[in-house]
A and B are shown apart, each in its own frame.
Chain A
Amino acid sequence: MKHPLGLGDVLCILFFGAVVLALFNWSWQHAPAQEAIVRVGGKIEHRLSLRLNQTVTVKGALGPTEIEIRQGQIRISRDPSPRQYCVQQGWLQRAGQTAICLPNQVSIELPTATHSHDSLSF
């Protein structure tokens, strides 16, 4: 019988397991956002505080988009875009999250404290 698992192996498994757990902890620790930026056709339409429960409607290229804020979270609750991607994205609450209704040219973004890039292209 060969040694299947040495002491060092056990230590390594535990150490790297702890690193994985720490990564999970670290990456979800993004601060909840304080405000949201609503853009229509690329231009900033509203800056909404997430502390105030409210429903806002903006007019996009296809029709009205309804944005709902409740308990520090924001979502797009109604949108005329055919595939409803932004509606299905559900509630957003952490800095850096976005929901984009491309056909209707409406987007909401929870800004991070610092912006390192103006734009990204692929």
Chain B
Amino acid sequence: MTVSVFSLAPSQQDQYIARLACLGIVLSVVEAYFPSPLPGVKPGLANLVTLLALQKLGWRAAVAVNLIRVVASALWLGSLFTPGFFLALSGACGSLLLLGIAQYLPKPWFGLISLSLFSAAGHLAAQCLLAWLWLLPSQGLLYFLPFLALSAWLTAIVNGWLCQRLLEPHHASTA
């Protein structure tokens, strides 16, 4: 009897993507247990990880990190293929789509706060579209939308700012 060993050597990039996705999963799971004033209002901290991936490794890596995060955190929470999972997935796709466009904005003027805002807008738009087409084809969603948009706007600014702070070189270590 022979034992065949098959191994793929992960590249540096693969390992970095895995590490970021792992961070994202932890943030998603922690966030899932946060009390929320309205269904859908969340800090969206896991988007920090997507922004980091976009900034450090490019858009393709951001796609990988975000999709791995969505699927794996759903596995962890036991919500795979539930409506909530599809909402999260559509939100991730929407935000990645807008990030793919927004990353070409001229760099010195448009920083991470801009990227974060575009990402949040794509996330909310895609989620609401899916919810409206599939889950709640009624007017009720319309009354929710402004509050969701307000919370998305606020959290996007905070997250963008946090991400910018994370990417700044450490004053202590450079001194």
Contact A8 B114 (CB under 8 A): yes
> Does A23 reach chain B (CB closer than 8 Å)?
yes
Asked whether, in the complex, the Cβ of B153 is within 8 Å of the Cβ of A12, the reply is no
A-B contact count (CB 8 A): 64
| A3 and B108 contacting across the interface, CB-CB below 8 Å | yes
- Inter-chain contact B164/A4, CB cutoff 8 Å: yes
Q: Which single member of B111, B149, B156, B168 contacts A8 (CB below 8 Å)? A: B111
Main secondary structure of the interface of B (DSSP, over half): helix
Interface range on chain A: under 10, 10 to 19, 20 to 34, or 35 or more?
20 to 34
Instruction: Tell me the chain B residues, 84-111 only, with Cβ under 8 Å from chain A.
Output: 105-106, 108-111
When the two chains form their complex, are residues B117 and A5 in contact, meaning their CB atoms are under 8 A apart? Answer: no
* Contact partner, A117, options B137, B160, B164, Cβ 8 Å: B137
Cβ contacts A to B, 18 pairs, < 8 Å: A2-B168, A3-B108, A4-B161, A4-B164, A6-B111, A6-B114, A8-B105, A8-B106, A9-B113, A9-B160, A12-B110, A12-B117, A20-B146, A23-B146, A24-B146, A24-B150, A28-B146, A116-B137
